[in-house]
Structure 1
């Protein structure tokens, strides 16, 4: 029996592994820019990437990880490096303190 996986199956679960999210984001950045990146490399400070690309990053994070980036989280510093983006994903995926329990 052959099982097929949905196209988003390669996206790691950010609740369990921020490092896996970093790796996926580094692959995404490399595919979109044609350049290799490290987890702490400043995506915008290195030049060549625009605010339009920042919005593309927001959409990628929201679709890939089922999060909503709003308000104060839309700061450029949250998108400056793959590590910061992975931390943002992890924070937004955590249940809110004082939230209801299932």
Structure 2
């Protein structure tokens, strides 16, 4: 499942930078491809695509550096008990 998430995230990033090659473990922040607007787009893409809500404490750069990290964030949400909205 996380492989599918990684591929979807990579497809999103590659769609913004079609001239570049990215793999799941490359730090897109360190490579210089992420500005504040694109970071917001990433968060919105992940929330919409995977039907999750990313809360303030999860808005840490380490959760968004790589497709692998973003897939792990999604996996944590999908495995969490559904008792978070009471």
Q: TM-score, normalised by structure 2?
A: 0.88
Unaligned runs of 5+ in 2: none
1:2-54 superposed Cα distances (whole Å, 9 cap, x missing partner): xxxxxxxxxxxxxxx10111011111110112222101000110013202111
| Cα RMSD for the two superposed structures | 1.4
What residue is the counterpart of 2:13 in the other structure?
A: 29
Given candidates 67, 70, 75, the residue that maps to 1:82 is 67
Segments of 4+ in structure 1 off by > 4 A? Answer: none
Larger radius of gyration, structure 1 or 2?
1
TM-score, structure 1 normalization: 0.75
Structure 1 unmatched ranges of 5 or more: 1-16
Describe how 1:11-90 pairs up with structure 2 within 5 A: 17-34=1-18, 35-90=20-75
Higher relative contact order (CA 8 A, sep 6+): 2
SS for the counterpart of 1:62 is: helix
Matched residues, number? 82
CA deviation vs aligned residue, 1:63-86 (integer Å, no higher than 9, x gap): 000000012111011000000000
- Secondary structure at the aligned position of 1:21 is classed as helix
